[in-house]
Amino acid sequence: MIPGAASHHLVSAGGRCHAGIVDPTSSDAARISTVNVRVPREEFLTVWNEASRREAERAGDEADDWYMGAVAQTCRWLAAVPMRTALCGGLPRSPVTLRACVAREQLIEAEWQAAQRQDQFSPTLAARPGWCEGVRATFRWAWSRQGPPPIEVTPA
């Protein structure tokens, strides 16, 4: 397990989603492809873990801001790290179209292109305040290498 690392996935429960904590292992981190994630691995992991931590802290909060969840979910999908649940056959869902699939170069590019248009998001996701912005910011940074990370992370 990566020290201090915690990431999550969104689990549907009665029409609502909540955070379920899943720590990426060292082997998960080592498998992150430079084809999928085009920023330094350690920087990517830091952003992913911090977004997951912040989302987990907010899980019981009534605030309707899905930005951190979107960042964490987009990172998980880009990293192609399987879920540790039986949901979707263990595959994380893509952050725009909700496809249960392993992130590969062509699929990532298609998802990034879809993210550019609001009407391409699953209606469930498009309705979540902050979701679309979080997905776009994460793709822009980790996939297109344009702009800053989607969240500010202070160095340890």
Domain locations in the chain?
7-142
What would the pLDDT profile of 100-141 be if each residue is shown by its tens digit? 888 999 999 999 999 999 999 999 999 999 999 999 999 999
pLDDT for 62: 58
Tens digit of each residue's pLDDT (9 = 90 or more) over 38-96: 999 999 999 998 998 898 887 766 567 899 999 999 999 999 877 665 554 567 889 99
Structure-derived torsion over alpha carbons of residues 82, 114, 121, 52, reported in degrees to the nearest 10: 40
Measured at the CA of 91, the angle between CA 87 and CA 97, to 5 degrees, comes to: 95
Distance of CA 33 to the CA centre of its chain: 15
Q: What's the DSSP call for residue 94?
A: P
Q: What is the pLDDT of residue 50?
A: 92
Distance between first and last Cα of the chain: 18
What sign results for the dihedral spanned by CA atoms 93, 25, 20, 87?
A: positive
- Alpha-carbon span 129 to 114, nearest angstrom: 18
Residue range 1-22: mean pLDDT, rounded: 37
- pTM to 2 decimals? 0.81
From residue 39, alpha-carbon distances to 34, 45, 91, 92, 118 in Å are 8, 10, 23, 21, 25
